[in-house]
Structure formats: C-alpha cells, structure tokens
Amino acid sequence: MAKPVSEFVCQTCGHRAPKWLGKCPECQGWNTLTEEVTRHSRGGGKTAGNRNSRANSADPSVQAVTQITRSQVDRVSTGILEFDRTLGGGLVPGSLTLLGGDPGIGKSTLMLQSMWAMAEAGNRVLYVSGEESPEQIKLRAERLHCLSERLLICSEICIENVLGLLEKIQPEVLVLDSIQTFFTEDLQSAPGSIGQVREVAFKIFQECKRRSLPVFLIGHITKDGAIAGPKSLEHIVDTVVYFEGERSHAYRILRTIKNRFGPTPEMGVFEMTPEGLIPVENPSEIFLSERPADTTGSAIAATLEGTRPLLVEVQALVTASTTLGMPRRMATGLDHNRVTLLVAIMEKRLDMSLQGEDIFVNLAGGLKVTEPAMDLGVATAIASSFQNRPMDPQTVMIGEIGLTGEVRSVLQLEPRLMEAAKLGFQRCVVPHTAKKSKTLGKIKMELAFVKTLAEALEIVL
C-alpha cells in the first residue's frame, strides 16, 4: 500500500495545493493553508461501493435507534472527587477529553495525581509525555507522593509508536502530554502545527472509540486561545475542560465548557500546594476569608457555575483620574466591556459623575466570572468606593442590571441564596421578580426585593 500522500488545504475556501503556499490562489487569504492527509487516496473506489450497498435497509451498519443495544455506561472514578464532578460524575469509557490551560498552571500535576489514583484503584495507566523525560516525571511523582506499579510512564512523540504501545500494553487509561508535541509520520509539517495536532487527535480519537479506551489530551492554550491547535480540537473531542487561575494565586478552577456526557458549565476548585493539588470543599469560605472589615468598595456577590454556587468578593477602587479626558477602566477577573457598560449606566441613571474617575474592579482570589448576575455586586462596589461609604458586610448582592438601571432576574436564585445562608449572611438583595417564587420560603435570611439599582444602593449604602 502506498504511503498516504499529504496535501495543503486552505482552511477558508477549501482550495487544495500539493505544496505549501503563503497565499491562497483561490481566496487570496494569507497563511490559510494547512497540511492534511489526502484520505481519498486510500482506495476511494471501495468506499463508493459501500455507499451504494448502504442504500439497502438490510445493511447491518444501519440500525433503528430502538434496536441499538447499549451497554450500561459505567463511569470510572478519576480518583479525585472534584474532577469526577467536573466531568459529570466520572470518566466515561471510550471518551476523549481535552484538558487545556496556560503553561505552568498545573495540568501535568492534575493528570499525574488523577492517574496515580486510578492506578491505585487497579487500572493499568499509560502516561505518554512528549515534553518531559521519565526522570522528570519520576521527580514530580515523588514530590506528589504518586508512585504506583500500575502507573506506566513513557517518553514518546511519534503517534504511530504510541498506537503500537497500546496494542502491546493494553492500558485502561491513556494520557498524552501534550498534544502539541506529538506528530504523525503521514505529515511533514512540524509537531504543534494545526495540521499535525488535528491529525494526531483524529488518530487517537479512532483508537479511543475502537478500544473503548478513555483518553486525556493535554493542550497548551494562550490567554486569547491564539494558538489555534487545541481550540480547533474542541469539536473533535467529547469533553473540554480548562484549568485556569492566576499563577500568583494558589487557587485553580477546573471548568467544563463542553461535555457530551454531562452538564456544562461545571466547575471544580483546587488549591495548588507543594504537595500537589488539593480539592477545596468550601470554595466560598476560602474566597471570602481575606475580606477586609468595614472598608469601602467591597461587595459580596453570588455566582453560579454549573451546579455550584460560589460567593465572591468584588473589589472596586474609584479615584480621581490624573490624565484629563482619559480615565482608566480596569477589570480583573470580570468582563471589561460589562464593567464599562455598568459605569455608563450608573452615570446616566444615577447621575454619578464618573467621567473624571479612574475605576479599577477586581475579583478577589484570582477568580474569573463573566455572569451577568454579578452586575449588582460590581455596581454597588463601585458606588461604595466612589461615595466613600462602606457597604453592609452582611449583605449579598444578586442581580443583573439592564440598560435603564432596572434589576433583572437571574437563573437559579435558590442555590445561591442557600449558599449565602450556609455561610451565615443575614440579608440578600435580589431582583423583585423573585417575590413570585414559591420556593424561597424556606430560605432563612432576610430578602430585600429591588426593582432598580438606585433602590439597591439605598438599602446597602
């Protein structure tokens, strides 16, 4: 059989060329050609024949949905409860999971800890690293106390060799660290190029389904997802989880953004320590633990990620701007555009003159939240700093703010309120639409229903 030939395909218009070109002759796009394996070169005639016979309803490859026998999906524990929860209750056999994150955030640490736990539970685990030598991995495993006979380590970057290993070793779980370092012999481009990343993932995908083998792919992502490699994998894999956090903070958030076997978004919280990652049982408590007492510009908001409510502290600092006409607006952990919008609403609807003020808003603990239910917390923190009046520290703010300054309802208010009550908060400012809700009766907390941002400020400032 002839070796599959590769060709270069424009990702914009589909133009095919035998060699790489900087500019696509068809659509004139620059840098749009990516190397791909020419699949039709593998005996195209035969496939056409198959397709004809498929028109026949007696073809065994076609089944009525009611006839399909489904083996009971037994999820396997990853050995880390917080990780299991993020995946929707454990690992599904034959699932392909992409674990993305910034360089150095702790991806290999999480994988090693989880794979060790799986090995200790009796699974044969194969951890293939294209980045680190077995000695380096051993060092980490010793530091994390993750040594197990069934945890098999291998340094390899050729995907064909990895597939060969699967045949020999028959592992029950496989990790590739990281997808950008592997290459297939079918393509000439360098490891890490889009073509390579996609082809390697495709080969692993087929193997993963054929063997019903759960596979983790680790992928580096830059802040804006600029390295297109892993981003372009998102539609191939079953599950995409991102590991994020500020490297200067100890907390790490594991976030599921796509899951064919469970709900999204879902999240887990970990603390990074020299002995490895430790799941955080009560994240709200930790994120609020450093909250200063009786200060201005600090508000508590309740956010919800998947099934998990989380109380967070929003901090705002409003100071007279030194640069005339160009006040600064900075948001850390929050959507910058959303904060700018809230400031505009406050100027227009509350007559606050914020034009000459620098405004900095920050989520404590290195968290990132983009939910609109945070609006009320953000706006009240800004107002508190601007007017130099501390907010009631026992009140939690929940609500989205509309363009007219109205407070709008949020999804799933109840779990947020229950979390606030659990942590001992005495009062919650909530959208007035919640009054109609029948399920809020059992919440042991004072609820202040507000229609507008102005009403909310009257209550807490």
Ligand X SMILES: Nc1ncnc2c1ncn2[C@@H]1O[C@H](COP(=O)(O)OP(=O)(O)OP(=O)(O)O)[C@@H](O)[C@H]1O
Minimum CB separation of residue 197 from ligand X in Å reads 16
Minimum CB separation of residue 106 from Mg ion in Å reads 8
Nearer to Zn ion, 26 or 335 (CB): 26
Distance of CA 70 to the CA centre of its chain: 30
Q: Report if residue 53 touches Zn ion, rule: CB under 5 A.
A: no
Residues 14-33 binding Zn ion (CB under 5 A) are 15, 24, 26-27, 29
Q: Report if residue 108 touches Mg ion, rule: CB under 5 A.
A: yes
Q: Which residue is associated with the tokens 């064909």? A: 160
Task: State the binding partner of 26 from ligand X, Zn ion, Mg ion, none, CB within 5 to 8 A by kind.
Answer: Zn ion
Q: Look up residue 352 and give its amino acid.
A: M
247-255 own/partner pairs: CB under 8 Å, 24+ apart: 247/102, 247/104, 247/105, 248/366, 249/365, 249/366, 251/280, 251/283, 251/286, 251/287, 251/365, 251/366, 251/367, 252/105, 252/106, 252/277, 253/367, 253/368, 254/82, 254/83, 254/86, 254/110, 255/86, 255/305
3-state class of 443 per DSSP? Answer: coil
Nearer to Zn ion, 30 or 55 (CB): 30
Nearer to ligand X, 107 or 203 (CB): 107
Minimum CB separation of residue 358 from ligand X in Å reads 32
Minimum CB separation of residue 107 from ligand X in Å reads 4
Residues 136-165 binding ligand X (CB under 6 A) are 143
**Total binding residues for ligand X by CB under 6 A?**
13
Q: Report if residue 107 touches ligand X, rule: CB under 6 A.
A: yes
Q: Decide: 312 and 363 in contact? Cβ < 8 Å.
A: yes
Select from 96-104, 156-164, 167-175, 350-358 the region that touches ligand X (CB under 6 A): 96-104
Torsion 228-230-234-237 (CA) sign: positive
Q: Report if residue 108 touches ligand X, rule: CB under 6 A.
A: yes
Q: Report if residue 103 touches ligand X, rule: CB under 6 A.
A: yes
* CA distance linking residue 126 with residue 152, whole number of Å: 5
Minimum CB separation of residue 218 from Mg ion in Å reads 6
Task: State the binding partner of 106 from Mg ion, ligand X, Zn ion, none, CB within 5 to 8 A by kind.
Answer: ligand X
Minimum CB separation of residue 227 from Zn ion in Å reads 21
**Total binding residues for Mg ion by CB under 5 A?**
1
Closest by CA position to 352, among listed 326, 376, 387: 387
Minimum CB separation of residue 29 from Zn ion in Å reads 5
For ligand X, the binding residues (CB under 6 A) are 101, 103-109, 131, 143, 220, 272, 274
